[in-house]
Structure 1
Amino acid sequence: MALAWRIRPIEARDDANVAAIIRTVMPEFGATGEGFAINDPEVDWMQRAYSVPRSAYFVVELEDKIVGGGGVAPLEGGDADTCELRKMYFLKQVRGQGIGSEMLRRCLDAARSFGFRYCYLETLSGMNDAIRLYERHGFKRIGAPRGQTGHGGCNTFYLREL
Structure 2
Amino acid sequence: MRTHHRDFLIRDWEPRDRAMAANAIASVLKEYGLGWEPQGADRDVLEVEQYYWNVGGQFWVVEQQGEVVGTSAYYPVSRGENAVEIRKMYLLPKVRGQGLGGFLLENLERAIAERGFQTLWLETASVLQEAIRLYERRGYQPATGVETPRCDRIYVKYLSS
Is the shorter-chain TM-score for this pair beyond 0.5, marking a shared fold?
Answer: yes
Secondary structure of residue in 1 paired with 2:69: strand
Kindly indicate whether residue 44 of structure 2 is the aligned counterpart of residue 42 of structure 1: yes
TM-score of the superposed pair, with normalisation by structure 2: 0.86
Number of equivalenced pairs: 155
Give the 3-state SS of the residue equivalent to 1:52 in structure 2. Answer: helix
Question: Post-superposition shift, 1:53?
Answer: 3.7
Gap change, CA 1:6 and 1:37, over 3 Å in 2: farther
Structure 1 outlier segments of 4+, above 6 Å:
none
CA–CA separation in structure 2 for the residues paired with 1:91 and 1:12: 20
Equivalent-residue separation in structure 2 for 1:128 and 1:43 (angstroms): 23
Residues of 1 paired with 2:154 and 2:70: CA distance? 22
Gaps of 5+ in 1: none
Indicate the SS of the match to 2:86.
strand
Equivalent in the alignment of 1:97: 98
- Please list the CA deviations of residues 68-114 of structure 1 after superposition, one character each: whole Å capped at 9, or x if unmatched: 01011012x42241110001111110011111111111111121122
SS of the residue aligned with 2:126? coil
- CA distance in structure 2 between the partners assigned to 1:55 and 1:3 by the alignment: 26
**1:15 corresponds to:** 18
d(CA) in 2 for partners of 1:33, 1:94: 21
Rounded to whole Å, the distance in 2 between the matches of 1:132 and 1:37 is 29
- The equivalent of 1:67 in structure 2 is 69
Tell me how far apart the structure 2 counterparts of residues 74 and 118 of structure 1 sit (CA, whole Å). Answer: 10
Unaligned runs of 5+ in 2: none
Contact 2:61 2:70 in 1 (8 A): yes
Task: Give yes or no for the alignment of 1:160 onto 2:161.
Answer: no
TM-score normalised by length of structure 1: 0.85
Paired-residue identity, %: 34
Residue in 1 aligned with 2:111? 110
RMSD, aligned CA: 2.2
Instruction: Name which structure has the greater RCO, CA cutoff 8 Å, separation 6+.
Output: 1
